[in-house]
Amino acid sequence: MLQRSLATLRSNTCYPAFRAFVGFTAFGGYAICALAAVSSLITGDGLAVMMMIASALVGAVLVRVGLEAALMLADIADASIAAAFAEGRVRVDSDSQADATTFAGQDEFVGGERPE
């Protein structure tokens, strides 16, 4: 059930560009780790190969941890926004600019005065 809720939250994200950037960066990190491991097999001797492969594995683990941490930040932000909408603390005012958001009980738009 939690995985389904997380998948729904991620599919309706407010931060698709950030999530895409994080995924692209993680892919690049994995590619660098793989290239380091493969190049050590081609050019190194026994101990150097083992050290480079171990370093590549540690690098891949760090990339994965960084990916998860970045996605958690986006999940927290998305969940906070979803909770605010569910509780009625935030609404989208359809009478004015697109995506102009107000907090319930306030007359002022977030980011400035109400446009006329």
Q: Return all residues near 25 (Cβ < 8 A) that are at least 6 apart.
A: 67
pTM (two decimals)? 0.69
Q: What is the pLDDT of residues 51-87, one digit of tens each?
A: 999 999 999 999 999 999 999 999 999 988 888 887 7
Task: Give the integer Cα–Cα distance in Å for 99 and 82.
Answer: 15
Dihedral of the CA atoms 35, 37, 43, 49 (nearest 10)?
Answer: 170
Query: In a 10 Å sphere around its CB, with 0-12 CB exposed, 13-18 middle and 19+ buried, how is residue 8 labelled?
Result: exposed
Ordered by start, the domain boundaries in the chain are 2-88
Query: In a 10 Å sphere around its CB, with 0-12 CB exposed, 13-18 middle and 19+ buried, how is residue 104 labelled?
Result: exposed
- Please state, for a pLDDT cut of 70, what percent of the chain lies above it: 77
Band (25; pLDDT cuts 50, 70, 90):
very high
Mean pLDDT of 92-109: 47
Mean pLDDT of 16-27: 96
